[in-house]
């Protein structure tokens, strides 16, 4: 058996304070090898040094105690996977909070915005020019996608199950009243959240529990786009030549990527890649992602169903979006590309360009 070290010697070797070691003991994170029954003095073995350092590092990551306890029981490769999964979750949470903070800063420092489309923002008046197209594809008998581009609302929904076409149409219809409602700037996200609840209820009111739909939609306010998203349809932003996916797929494979269990390339070709973790469905309510997105003149937005994003390779998507000027022509070319690639699913897209307002 290893020689026992006093708490003072062990603390010095582990570069921790005796107080920290006593706390780790009380929390069950690092138990002493022996506690003197008379004096209560704690003793440790040199082999516990590594675990003591690991606990200290995990505490510095603000990992919850229960999770630290679990990591300490794992071998090194499994512990590495667990730390990677924990950190991916922290980054996802931080990104969501960053969006909210950016919105609050903008909201608190700007003048009260009316919801008039084309309202002045930083002295610039903006407008959008958009186009929409949905297509059955080469294989499916019917089209369960729905897509819409109105004066203020852009939306794509991908229905599934029996009556999936009704579900996708009902979800978009439930958002349409937002196009004509006057919404105070501070209430925009709440109004959108209410509309999504309406969409969820509309889908649940349809007959079949198995039916459901994704929904990715943007509401244009004249200076901002409010974004709502659930499922695996996507929104992309083309800005300054860079193409960014601004939604997060609610799929099983995407969560496996974030946990470090599979690579992005493996996810893209995974046979179960369309298995959804969240959707508006007949049998359960699920939360949507909601956020506000500051727009700039020159931005181009693409909303699309997975029949387009899964079929058309990213370089081709980027080529069409960067080289074709007219949104009507862009949607036609993108759908044609999906069909050339096999057209195995229904494909839909909305393209919207943000332009300076014409005087």
Residues that bind Mg ion (CB under 5 A): 158, 305-307, 345
Q: What are the structure tokens assigned to 130, written together?
A: 């958009």
Minimum distance of Mg ion from residue 324's CB (angstroms): 23
Residue number, 28 or 142, with CB nearest to Mg ion: 142
SS3 for 251-300, per residue? EHHHHHHHCCCCCHHHHHCCCCCCCECCCEECCCCCCCEEEEEECCCCCE
| Smaller CB separation from Mg ion, 223 or 346 | 346
Comparing CB distances to Mg ion, the nearer of 145 and 353 is 145
Q: In whole angstroms, how close is the CB of 345 to Mg ion at the nearest point?
A: 4
Q: Tell me how long the chain is.
A: 359
The nearest distance, CB 305 to Mg ion, in angstroms, is 5
What burial class does residue 279 get, using C-beta atoms within 10 Å of its C-beta: 0-12 exposed, 13-18 middle, 19+ buried?
Answer: buried
Of 105 and 139, which CB lies nearer to Mg ion in the complex structure?
Answer: 139
Q: Nearest distance from residue 152's CB to Mg ion, in Å?
A: 25
* Torsion on CA atoms 164, 340, 129, 153, rounded to nearest 10: 10
**Contact (Cβ atoms closer than 8 angstroms) between residue 288 and residue 213:** no
Q: In the complex, what is the shortest distance from the CB of residue 355 to Mg ion, in angstroms, rounded to a whole number?
A: 30
Cα–Cα distances (Å) from 91 to 38, 59, 78, 88, 96, in that order, read 47, 17, 20, 5, 9
Tell me whether residue 115 or residue 281 sits nearer to Mg ion (CB atom): 281
């Amino acid at each position: 058996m290893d020689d026992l070290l006093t708490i003072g010697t062990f603390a010095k070797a582990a570069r921790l304070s005796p107080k920290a070691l006593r706390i780790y003991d009380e929390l069950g994170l690092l138990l002493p090898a022996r506690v003197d029954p008379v004096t209560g003095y704690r003793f440790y073995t040199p082999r516990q040094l590594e675990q003591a350092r690991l606990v200290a590092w995990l505490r510095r990551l603000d990992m919850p105690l229960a999770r630290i306890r679990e990591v300490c029981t794992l071998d090194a490769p499994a512990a590495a996977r667990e730390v990677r999964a924990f950190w991916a979750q922290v980054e996802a949470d931080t990104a969501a909070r960053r969006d909210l903070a950016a919105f609050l800063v903008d909201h608190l420092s700007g003048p009260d915005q009316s919801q008039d489309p084309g309202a002045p923002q930083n002295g610039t008046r903006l407008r959008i020019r958009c186009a929409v197209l949905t297509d059955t594809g080469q294989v499916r008998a019917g089209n369960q996608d729905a897509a819409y581009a109105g004066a203020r609302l852009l939306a794509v929904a991908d229905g599934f199950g029996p009556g999936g076409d009704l579900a996708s149409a009902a979800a978009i219809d439930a958002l349409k009243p937002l196009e004509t409602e006057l919404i105070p700037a501070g209430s925009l996200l709440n109004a959108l959240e209410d509309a999504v609840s309406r969409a969820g209820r509309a889908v649940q009111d349809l007959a079949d529990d198995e039916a459901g739909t994704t929904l990715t939609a943007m509401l244009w306010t004249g200076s901002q786009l409010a974004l709502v998203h659930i499922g695996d349809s996507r929104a992309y932003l083309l800005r300054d030549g860079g193409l960014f996916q601004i939604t997060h797929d609610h799929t099983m494979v995407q969560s496996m990527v974030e946990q470090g269990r599979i690579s992005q390339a493996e996810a893209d070709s995974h046979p179960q890649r369309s298995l959804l973790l969240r959707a508006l469905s007949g049998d359960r309510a699920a939360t949507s992602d909601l956020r506000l997105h500051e727009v700039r003149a020159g931005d181009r937005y693409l909303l699309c169903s997975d029949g387009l994003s899964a079929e058309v390779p990213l370089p081709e998507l980027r080529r069409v979006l960067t080289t074709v000027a007219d949104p009507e022509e862009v949607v036609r070319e993108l759908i044609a590309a999906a069909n050339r690639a096999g057209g195995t699913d229904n494909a839909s897209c909305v393209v919207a360009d943000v332009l300076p307002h014409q005087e």
